[in-house]
Amino acid sequence: MDGGLVGVTSGVVAAAAFMSYAVRGRSSRVFGESYYHGDRSKPALALTFDDGPSESTPKLLETLDKYHVPATFFMCGENVRRCPDVAREVAARGHELGNHTDSHPRLDFKSPRFIYGELARAQETIQETTGAKPRWFRAPYGVRWFGVAQAQQLLGLRGVMWTVIGRDWRWPSARVSGLLVNNASNGGILCLHDGRGVRPAPDIGATIEAVEYTIPRLQERGFEFLTLTQILCPQN
């Protein structure tokens, strides 16, 4: 290889690495305003759940009530239309609702028009069904793309990733609990799932067990659980 080709190759590698960070990096703001933690000087945590509401969400609501913990639920429009009563129950119990697209697609390589449609349909369904207007958006799989920034802006949404992601869709509850307990830190945003994409009646047993184990342990360590708005916009 001559020097020119080496230069071109390393340039391509660097560009690919940059794109990968831009699309999936939890701190990336390349495709729009995005947050991944709150105030690091305060012992507060935000518990967030993606991919709901589902037929399995009510059991999780009971656990959160038991510990008087408010959470933030990133809902998919399709799930809200399938389980409207559950969506309303989540809001009625004082939890915050966020937007997680309508049908849970990966947004990379999609057109700005497609992306806007996904966010707008979810926003409309959530608002019409529950009366709550989401102010936070979390991209499925954490994948952002061209057009997300504009869609967020038009719909009054701000992007949110996470500080710690629980891998509760794949791991047994003990491993999820260990990850959360060991990695919780001031201002942390914890990400779990009360659904699995837009699949009906998902098994979220590992999620519920992990929540049941983790909340009292983190409360004992002095952490207070807050909604995303409380942790990211404490003045509101």
Residue type, 69: V
Only segment of 1-9, 58-66, 135-143, 158-166 that touches Zn ion (CB under 5 A): 135-143
Instruction: Quote the strand ranges of the chain, DSSP E.
Output: 34-35, 44-52, 72-75, 96-99, 136-137, 158-160, 164-165, 188-193, 224-226
DSSP state of 218: H
- Least distance from C-beta 5 to Zn ion, angstroms? 41
Q: Is 193 a catalytic residue?
A: yes
Helices 84-92 and 112-130: angle between axes, nearest 10 degrees? 70
Instruction: Establish if 118 lies at the interface with Zn ion (CB under 5 A).
Output: no
Instruction: Establish if 168 lies at the interface with Zn ion (CB under 5 A).
Output: no
- Number of CB atoms found within 10 A of residue 80's CB: 25
Residue bearing tokens 């913990």: 69
Interacting residue with Zn ion among 36, 50, 208, 225 (CB under 5 A): 50
Instruction: Establish if 166 lies at the interface with Zn ion (CB under 5 A).
Output: no
Instruction: Establish if 142 lies at the interface with Zn ion (CB under 5 A).
Output: no
Q: Is 44 or 72 the residue whose CB approaches Zn ion more closely?
A: 72
Instruction: Establish if 194 lies at the interface with Zn ion (CB under 5 A).
Output: no
Instruction: Establish if 77 lies at the interface with Zn ion (CB under 5 A).
Output: no
Write out the residues near Zn ion by the rule CB under 5 A: 50-51, 140
Active-site annotation, residues: 50, 193
